[in-house]
Amino acid sequence: MLSKANVKYIQSLQHKKFRDEYHVFVAEGPKLMTELLANDFFDLEALFLIKSWMDELDNILLEKFKEKLQVVEEFELEKISALKSPNKVVGLFKKRTPVSEFDIKESITLVLDDINDPGNMGTIIRTADWFGIKNIVCSMNTVDCYNPKVVQSTMSSLSRVNIIYTDLIKWLQKNKNIPIYCSALNGLKLNQIENKNEAILIIGNEANGVSHEVMNCADEMITIPKIGEAESLNAAVATSIMLYEFKR
């Protein structure tokens, strides 16, 4: 039986303030949980699962984490789940300290300027992982990468992409030796860029795009050529198209 203290603690982790305080985040669902447990990147604090899923869990993982497992009833899982339909298992993992200093030469680095939507953020992280992007640099107002909805959207890519939050202006000025491209509605067409092996690629806020201050740090405005009449592209979709063009 889950104690009231446990329920209150797990529910508090839906909020960034408490995730930062306890250095713990929540993940849910069998597929995501199996991947996180198998790759062993994040340290498991506790695993709350219904009996039927424990019976499905790989014996090696079951033995490895048996001291941290707690079987709960479905109604208890509902209390600690952020999902409308709780999915068999909720895990608590220790956050990892990101690598703040890394080499960006001969690689593509993503910069996110105030991405607000957790779904977009999760998809961008997952897309970055697909295209082999190792580092994402975020403005301080970009949504927390440990937000439960972000974690669900990444499908464990969070364990393979280094994500830092910093003052973008200072970071971009510090890395002016690398070509900086800024996504915009008007600019050089994406397929006209010649050197795509080494770059910093800036993606802007869903509603307002890249801020003028950040935009002024760029060497070149770039755009995805428009054929139809849509006003703009979703930030995650635009990121996917740009990364494909840069990496192909």
Quick one: pLDDT at residue 64?
A: 93
Q: Which pair of structure tokens corresponds to residue 43?
A: 């340290």
Q: Are 121 and 142 in contact (CB under 8 A)?
A: yes
- Can you list the domains of the chain with their CATH numbers? 4-94 (3.30.1330.30), 108-247 (3.40.1280.10)
Quick one: pLDDT at residue 180?
A: 98
Best CA proximity match to 148, nearest among 12, 3, 2: 12
SS3 of 180, please? strand
Q: Which residues contact 151 (CB under 8 A, 6 or more apart)?
A: 25, 26, 27, 32, 122, 145, 158
Per-residue model confidence as pLDDT tens digits over 185-216? 999 999 899 888 999 999 999 999 999 999 99
Q: How far apart are CA 31 and CA 47, in angstroms?
A: 14
Q: Are 223 and 245 in contact (CB under 8 A)?
A: no
Quick one: pLDDT at residue 1?
A: 81
pTM score, two decimals? 0.94
Residue 200: phi, psi to the nearest 5?
Answer: -110, 125
Per-residue pLDDT of the chain (248 residues; tens, 9 = 90+): 899 999 999 999 999 999 999 999 999 999 999 999 999 899 999 999 999 999 888 888 889 999 999 999 999 999 999 888 889 999 999 999 999 999 999 999 999 999 999 999 999 999 999 999 999 999 999 999 999 999 999 989 999 999 999 999 999 999 999 999 999 999 999 989 988 899 999 999 999 999 999 999 999 999 999 999 998 899 999 999 999 999 98
Query: Any idea what DSSP says for residue 232?
Result: -
Quick one: pLDDT at residue 84?
A: 86
- The three state secondary structure string of 131-167 is CCCCEEEECCCCCCCCCHHHHHHHCCHHHCCEEEECC
